[in-house]
Amino acid sequence: MNKKLTYAGMAAILLLVISGCGDKPTAAPAATSAPESTSVSSGAGGNNAVNESPTATPEATSTPEPEPTATVTPAATDKPAAPEKQSLQIKAYYTDQEQNELVTAEVSITFKDAKDKYTEAFKTLQNSSDAKQIPLWNKIELKSLEFSNGQIVLDIHKPDEAQLGAGGEALAISALSQTFFQFDEVKNIDVLVDGEQVESLMGHVDLVHPITRENNGL
């Protein structure tokens, strides 16, 4: 009997213990921590910046500057070589001391081109190395000389001291014609006085325009 009472008392105590355990309040779940804000807030009263490492700002990509292009200066073009001078033996025409006839002499001229050749040929009519050969054009000034398509055009200036008589004038025109017509490429000659065509060179003999081999009797 006593044993039954003992067992019954122990069972009652056990039930009380179990009952007390069932009424114990359940522990509250741990508070979930709020995610840390990544933004920085600032107030008038102070700084509440979140102590986080600042986000690294990517460095600006620098565009490499183009290397300067070297300017190539073209090499200076060599000037064309000047034409070499040529020498030529020609006939020059003068008169005798009495101005009765033409006298022929062999002379040498040096020139660079065709125009230069005819200019040098004219100069032989202005000078003589022989006192017995009288130049008929020595006092006449050559202003210009042009050669084109077989024609020589002379522009001269005739001062008063270059005046000759009728015989001397005829010999002068003949000497000029024979000097230039010894060159096969020369077809005619036109003589101008101060840029104008004149009827007579010195007032005694007609001056034709142009002079040809035919009308000069050559």
Q: Is residue 39 over pLDDT 50?
A: no
CA 95 to chain centre: 55
pLDDT digits (tens, 9 = 90+) for 89-126: 999 999 999 999 999 999 999 999 988 999 999 999 99
Residue 24, pLDDT score:
47
Q: What is the pLDDT of residue 218?
A: 62
Per-residue pLDDT, 19: 56
Q: What is the pLDDT of residue 125?
A: 97
Model confidence at 55, pLDDT cuts 50, 70, 90, reads low
Tell me how far the alpha carbon of residue 141 is from its chain's centroid.
40
37 has pLDDT over 50? no
Would you say 188 and 150 are in contact if contact means Cβ atoms under 8 Å apart? yes
Per residue in 58-71, pLDDT (tens digit) is 555 556 665 656 55
Q: Look up residue 39 and give its two tokens.
A: 């933004």
C-alpha R_g of the chain: 63
Distance CA 215, CA 218 (A): 8
Q: Can you read off the two tokens belonging to residue 141?
A: 């000034």
| Portion of the chain with pLDDT greater than 90, in percent | 58
DSSP type of residue 205:
S
Q: What is the distance between the alpha carbons of residues 32 and 46, in angstroms, rounded to a whole number? A: 28
Q: What is the mean pLDDT of the chain?
A: 79
Paired residues of 211 in beta bridges: 189
| pLDDT, tens digit, 9 for 90 and up, residues 175-217 | 999 999 999 999 999 999 999 999 999 999 999 999 999 988 6
**Cβ neighbours of residue 145 closer than 8 Å, sequence gap 6 or more:** 115, 118, 119, 122, 152, 153, 154, 155
Which pair of structure tokens corresponds to residue 148?
A: 């084109």
Across residues 144-168, what is the average pLDDT? Answer: 96
Are 83 and 77 in contact by the 8 Å Cβ rule? The answer is no
Who wins on pLDDT, 117 or 18? 117
Please spell the DSSP secondary structure of 18-30, one letter per residue: HHHHHHSPPPPPP
DSSP state, residue 8: H
pTM of the model: 0.62
